Structure 1
Amino acid sequence: MKKRKVELVVISDVHLGTYGCHAKELMHYLVSIKPKTLILNGDIVDIWQFRKSYFPPSHLKVLKKIISMSSKGTKVYYLTGNHDELLRKFTDIHLGNFSLLNKLLLEVDDKKAWIFHGDVFDASITHTKWLAKLGGWGYDFLIVLNRAINWGLVKLGKEPYSLSKKIKSSVKSAVKFVSDFENVCIELAIEKNYDYVICGHIHEPKIETITTEKGSTTYLNSGDWVENLTALEYNKKKWRLYEHKIESVTFETEEETFEYENQLIEQFITAIQK
């Protein structure tokens, strides 16, 4: 398979170790590219929801592939997020082509890029972490339930449907949160004279250039590999948003679907009781 050469790739919010993660699709993407630099912008491994009973081979293959890319010359930056915040005690580590950091300032063709996960601007993370963790369980359950529904829709010859996107778009507080998050990142980037501000965290892929009376910057969000399956690519002085297409909804058996749902319900109830 001929690999696409890309100067810079940014992915975030993979959430390895959760049922919602599309590890196989991410693996398909990673084997199709040959980037000079790969930035993992937080929440790659979901330590918040990590369970010994669930870390399938497809998730492990993603980690092995990233290590392999680093050993073959790709510069890999792992920037910590809230779901893998336990790694923050080990940050500022550089091992060959691999670096573990909290944030990154990068020169991209003589332009300054400010790259970080983004949870630092999320009040629910900084002040009510227990609520954010509870929301994580609920989100994971919603994604798996959505997969089960889409499995049935595909069997009936109908288009897949995104429950999480519908809910977020219809709830005013969620829409306001996304807007506030983006505005804070943009305002600070302009204040600091950064040409690009690159985030993850909110699972909303976007590329948008904003100009205010104080200056201009380009806001970029790499999205996620749970519902959007997106990445940012930079090549020949241009940014593009890569969107991976899912050819089919895969659940090997109906029993597997119900088993996932039952496990998540039990874990969600346990989290509430805590």
Structure 2
Amino acid sequence: MNLKRKVEIAVISDVHLGTFGCQAKQLLTYLNSIEPKKIILNGDIIDIWQFKKRYFPKSHLSVIKKIMDFAANGTEVIYITGNHDEMLRKFTDTEIGNISIVNKLVLDLDGKKAWFFHGDVFDISIQNAKWLAKLGGWGYDLLILLNSVVNWGLEKLGKERYSLSKRIKNSVKGAIKYINDFEKVATDLAIEKGYDYVVCGHIHQPKMLIKENKHGKTTYLNSGDWVENFTALEYQFKRWKVYNYNNDKLSPFFADEELKDMDVKDLIAAITIVEQPKKKKSK
């Protein structure tokens, strides 16, 4: 019997299910090693952009089944939309059992406020993102809308959608500047809004650091990805940590025995059956 670590919150992002780069087996190992009260999927979990490849192996289906099992067993699953799964934004604020879909999230964690979002909306223009997001509570939603319109327009013109990965690969110096600008915009906004933590994904750079300006300070966290870094964020005992699969894995198993034994047809059938969440016992 494998012991599972109890975690108050687990945050994963940039899994890119449906692409050759996705390392689903490593992710399954991680998910099978924890028992979270809440799991936050911070964008780009399913890569809808690249679905035309018709590539979706058993291990990728197993990840979806595992997440659904979490929800069926009482774990709150919050899916924050990203750019590669932006089609889900039309279902924002939808709730099905223990699963909800949102564009952004604010949580109270032991008296401190945490702001969660994927971060792709800053790609439109790092320079202009700050003042747009400052326009009240709907400013960030306006950025999301603009981002969708930009990609829609590119598609209509027969051009490729905006790709951050290509931009980063163009130049190391440009990548460093982009990442620094991204972190500055995110943390400046968080400080302005009075958030103690700002939690992002998108740039595939796992990190935890304290950022400070003349108005205050905040803790910046990024969950990294499951394509190259194999990282997640965990919150437990009032503290955040960056989980790194290569350094922190505690067990040699790869997936639940049940998932290993199921064939692809059984997995698809299991995923499409809507399971009712277990009722919580009243105190």
Compared CA separation, residues 128 and 95, structure 1 to 2 (3 A): closer
Alignment gaps of 5+ in structure 1: 140-163, 248-274
Give me the whole-angstrom Cα distance separating, in 2, the residues matched to 1:172 and 1:47.
Answer: 30
Between 1:129-138 and 1:6-15, the stretch displaced more is 129-138
Q: Which residue is equivalent to 1:107?
A: 108
Query: Which amino acid in the other structure matches residue 215 of structure 2?
Result: K
**Where do residues 237-252 of structure 1 align in structure 2 (5 Å cutoff)?**
237-245=238-246
Compared CA separation, residues 136 and 218, structure 1 to 2 (3 A): closer
Percent identity (aligned): 59
Q: Which residue is equivalent to 1:50?
A: 51
Asked whether the 8 Å contact 1:43–1:82 carries over to 2, the reply is yes
Are 2:66 and 1:65 aligned? yes
Give me the whole-angstrom Cα distance separating, in 1, the residues matched to 2:14 and 2:110.
Answer: 26
- Superposition TM-score, scaled by structure 2 size: 0.73
Are 2:7 and 1:6 aligned? yes
Give me the whole-angstrom Cα distance separating, in 2, the residues matched to 1:187 and 1:178.
Answer: 14
Q: CA deviation at 1:53?
A: 2.6
Give me the whole-angstrom Cα distance separating, in 1, the residues matched to 2:4 and 2:95.
Answer: 27
Between 1:126-135 and 1:199-208, the stretch displaced more is 126-135
Q: Deviations over 1:182-219 (max 9, x none)?
A: 10000000000000000000001000011221011000
Asked whether the 8 Å contact 1:23–1:59 carries over to 2, the reply is yes
Query: Which amino acid in the other structure matches residue 110 of structure 1?
Result: G
Give me the whole-angstrom Cα distance separating, in 1, the residues matched to 2:165 and 2:115.
Answer: 30
Give me the whole-angstrom Cα distance separating, in 2, the residues matched to 1:220 and 1:132.
Answer: 30
Between 1:128-137 and 1:24-33, the stretch displaced more is 128-137
Q: Which residue is equivalent to 1:204?
A: 205
Q: CA deviation at 1:113?
A: 0.5
Query: How many matched pairs?
Result: 220
Alignment gaps of 5+ in structure 2: 126-145, 250-283
Q: Which residue is equivalent to 1:187?
A: 188
Query: Secondary structure of 2:48's match?
Result: coil
Q: CA deviation at 1:138?
A: 6.1
Give me the whole-angstrom Cα distance separating, in 2, the residues matched to 1:133 and 1:73.
Answer: 37
Give me the whole-angstrom Cα distance separating, in 1, the residues matched to 2:211 and 2:110.
Answer: 20
CA RMSD in angstroms comes to 2.2
Q: Which residue is equivalent to 1:159?
A: none
Give me the whole-angstrom Cα distance separating, in 1, the residues matched to 2:198 and 2:122.
Answer: 13
Q: Pick the aligned partner of 1:133 from 161, 172, 188.
A: 161
Q: CA deviation at 1:132?
A: 6.5
Query: Secondary structure of 1:29's match?
Result: helix
Q: CA deviation at 1:15?
A: 0.2
Query: Secondary structure of 2:227's match?
Result: coil
Asked whether the 8 Å contact 1:8–1:37 carries over to 2, the reply is yes
Asked whether the 8 Å contact 1:17–1:51 carries over to 2, the reply is no
Are 2:263 and 1:235 aligned? no
**Where do residues 110-121 of structure 1 align in structure 2 (5 Å cutoff)?**
110-121=111-122
Give me the whole-angstrom Cα distance separating, in 2, the residues matched to 1:21 and 1:133.
Answer: 20
Q: Which residue is equivalent to 2:19?
A: 18
Query: Which amino acid in the other structure matches residue 58 of structure 2?
Result: P
- Superposition TM-score, scaled by structure 1 size: 0.75
Q: Which residue is equivalent to 1:266?
A: none
Q: Deviations over 1:48-98 (max 9, x none)?
A: 111353100100000000000010011110000000000000110112211
Asked whether the 8 Å contact 1:195–1:216 carries over to 2, the reply is yes
Give me the whole-angstrom Cα distance separating, in 2, the residues matched to 1:209 and 1:51.
Answer: 41
Q: CA deviation at 1:133?
A: 3.4
Asked whether the 8 Å contact 1:103–1:116 carries over to 2, the reply is yes
